């Protein structure tokens, strides 16, 4: 039982690390449950990962609600952008992937890598 839980964590950590090496400019990556608890994360110093996990769950929850109302189908992703940076949130099965990027990042590459990561996360959780 314990071994099974550990290897889920290991797989998720590997996914996170793969994403970070593919996109070195990222400020942080976090995988959370849909009810806002962090599972694995590499956020920068001074960022409260617990807070980010809860906010990611709230945002995705609201995003799903908006999608339902507009008839847009199952939620896949959403973003919050500011002048100095942005966060992209991906629905990942029973979890949420949050990717924090600096301003001016190559979004094509980011989305390609992150969507892949979200899929492997969904298959693990």
Partner 1 sequence: MSPLKLVVSGPVGAGKTTFVQTLSETAVVATEAEATEDIGKALTTVAFDFGTLNLDGQELHIYGTPGQDRFNFMWDVLCDGALGLVMLVAGDRPQDFMHARNILEYITSRFPIPFVVGVTRQDLDRVWKPADIAAFFGLPLSQVVGLNAINPADGANLLIRLLERLPLSPHNGAPPRVGSTSSPL
Site residues (vs partner 1, CB under 8 A): 33-37, 50-51, 53-55, 57-58, 61-62, 64-65, 94
What minimum distance in Å lies between the beta carbon of 108 and partner 1? Answer: 30
What minimum distance in Å lies between the beta carbon of 58 and partner 1? Answer: 5
What minimum distance in Å lies between the beta carbon of 61 and partner 1? Answer: 4
d(CA 97, CA 88): 8
Q: How far is C-alpha 84 from the chain's CA centre?
A: 19
**In 27-124, alpha helices (H):** 49-70, 107-124
What minimum distance in Å lies between the beta carbon of 13 and partner 1? Answer: 18
d(CA 37, CA 18): 22
How many distinct helices (H) and strands (E) make up the chain?
A: 3, 5
Taking the CA atoms of residue 53, residue 106, residue 71 and residue 62 in that order, the dihedral angle to the nearest 10 degrees is 20
């Amino acid at each position: 039982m314990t071994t099974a839980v550990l290897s889920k964590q290991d797989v998720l950590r590997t996914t996170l690390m793969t994403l970070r090496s593919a996109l070195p400019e990222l400020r942080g990556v976090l995988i959370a449950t849909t009810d806002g608890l962090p599972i694995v994360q590499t956020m920068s110093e001074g960022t409260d990962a617990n807070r980010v996990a809860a906010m990611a769950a709230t945002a995705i929850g609201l995003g799903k609600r908006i999608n339902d109302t507009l008839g847009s189908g199952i939620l896949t992703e959403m973003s919050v952008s500011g002048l100095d940076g942005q966060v992209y949130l991906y629905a990942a099965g029973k979890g949420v992937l949050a990717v924090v990027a600096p301003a001016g990042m190559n979004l094509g590459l980011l989305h390609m890598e992150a969507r892949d990561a979200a899929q492997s996360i969904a298959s693990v959780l």
